[in-house]
Amino acid sequence: MSTAIALDAAWIFAAFLVIIVLGATGLAIRRMLLDRGGGTVECGLRRPGASWRLGVAAYGAAELRWYDAVGVLLTPEEVLARRTLSVESRREAYPAEATLLGQGMVVMSCTAGEVPQTVDLAMREDALTGFLAWLESAPPGAYG
């Protein structure tokens, strides 16, 4: 009887490991697919009254697409139009925020949308430099 229980436990453990490995492989493949187009950075996002969500931001010609870090879909969770996106302020992440976001993150308070709404973005200093360059480098007359 105890041999049968041990064998059942071994099969359950093996199945659990297979599920974990498949999940991790799926997340890795998803991240590679998101990164294949280039212009992606790790980025935290927070809407007013909500908590921080970790993810990946991808620069497009006319928009910033934000994808949740843990997800199965290749469609963005948030899309911020470049022509309506502006940085209102920036600061170092508070210690409580740094626990979730990671050390060295810079938090930007931004407005976006036709009806301006506030959104906070968090990224590392080098990614912030690239983000600001992308935001300011729109072709002349693109948003006339």
The pLDDT value recorded for residue 33 is 64
For 39-136, CATH number? 2.30.29.30
The pLDDT value recorded for residue 37 is 66
Taking the model in full, what pTM does it have? 0.76
The pLDDT value recorded for residue 1 is 58
Pick from 72, 86, 78, 73: nearest CA to 58 = 78
Residues in the chain with pLDDT values less than 50: 144
The pLDDT value recorded for residue 51 is 93
Residue 116, SS3 per DSSP: coil
Residue 11, SS3 per DSSP: helix
Joined together, the tokens standing for residue 21 give 């490995």
DSSP character string of 48-110:
TTS--EEEEEEE-SSEEEEEESS-S-SS-SEEEEGGG-EEEEEEEPPHHHHHHH-TTEEEEEE
